[in-house]
Amino acid sequence: MNRILSFFLLIIVTATHLVGCGYTLQGSGSVLPPDVKKIYVPFTENDSTEGSLANLLTEALRDQFERFGVVEVTDSRLGADAELTSRIKSVKKTSRAVTNTTDVSQQFDTTVVIEARLIKKNGTQLWADSNLQVSSAVAASQAGLQAGSTSFAGGLTTDSSLARLDPRQFIRSQEQTALEQIALTAAQTIYNQSVAPDF
């Protein structure tokens, strides 16, 4: 009984020490002003031809800002203390590798450039990044996926999945997976930079 009591006391003392020394749980810290409790995240503007990316990024941003409970994401700017705007400036695809015999690209990078700003309702800019770049590798063929599968976002890696797709479906599926990964990475980066860069 005494051992159990001592064990729990040790846990309490250790936890108190960690809190006293300034340790925080991941995502629990914030550099936002104390009067910024609610944030409005409007739909992402999109200057690119990737129509689905705006929706993916909007949802990823809202999910990321709600995840840790540091701020509340509101449905209207009227009740918000600040607003996080975002705009997809461009989406560029560049070849990474070519086949030896056909000179056809097997892999390419999709790079998205995003502009984002966090502004208080009084107009004060809290944070901004006008040139955030996020990339993801995409396989342009099954051979390309097999050649560099560890560098691609997860999704279609089993032989049975690959066999069911024609080349056009394969590429579309790979591109969609890459866009989903880019949206998630961009949302995490924007949150970390604007809310908790030191935590």
At 141, the pLDDT band (50, 70, 90 cuts) reads low
* pLDDT at 140 (0 to 100): 66
Over residues 144-163, mean pLDDT: 48
pLDDT tens for 49-107 read: 999 999 999 999 999 999 988 999 999 999 999 999 999 999 998 876 655 555 555 77
Question: Can you give the pTM of this predicted structure?
Answer: 0.71
Please list, in sequence order, all residues whose beta carbon lies within 8 angstroms of the beta carbon of residue 109, skipping any fewer than 6 positions away: 93, 94, 96, 135, 136, 137, 138
Q: Which helix (H) or strand (E) holds 56?
A: helix 51-67
- What pLDDT sits at residue 169? 76
In one letter, which amino acid is 136? S
Tell me, what's the pLDDT at 30?
Answer: 83
Chain centroid to Cα 77, Å, comes to 23
Mean pLDDT for the chain? Answer: 77
Q: Give per-residue pLDDT as tens, 16-28.
A: 333 333 333 344 5
Crossing angle between the packed helical segments 51-67 and 167-194, to the nearest 10 degrees: 40
**What average pLDDT does the segment 7-23 reach?**
38
CA distance 190 to 199: 14
Rg (CA), the chain: 22
pLDDT above 70 as % of the chain: 64
pLDDT of res. 175: 85
- The 3-state DSSP class for residue 139 equals strand
Q: Which domains does the chain have, with CATH numbers?
A: 2-194 (3.30.160.150)
The dihedrals phi and psi of 103, each to the nearest 5 degrees, come to 60, 30
Asked whether the predicted pLDDT for residue 188 surpasses 90, the reply is yes
Please state the rounded mean pLDDT for residues 104-129.
Answer: 91
Rounded to 5°, the CA angle 128-63-28 comes to 75
Please state whether beta strands 82-98 and 45-46 pair in parallel, antiparallel, or not at all (unpaired).
parallel
**Regarding beta strands 105-120 and 125-139, do their DSSP bridges make them parallel or antiparallel, or are they unpaired?**
antiparallel
Q: What is the DSSP letter of 41?
A: -
10 vs 107: CA distance, rounded Å: 54
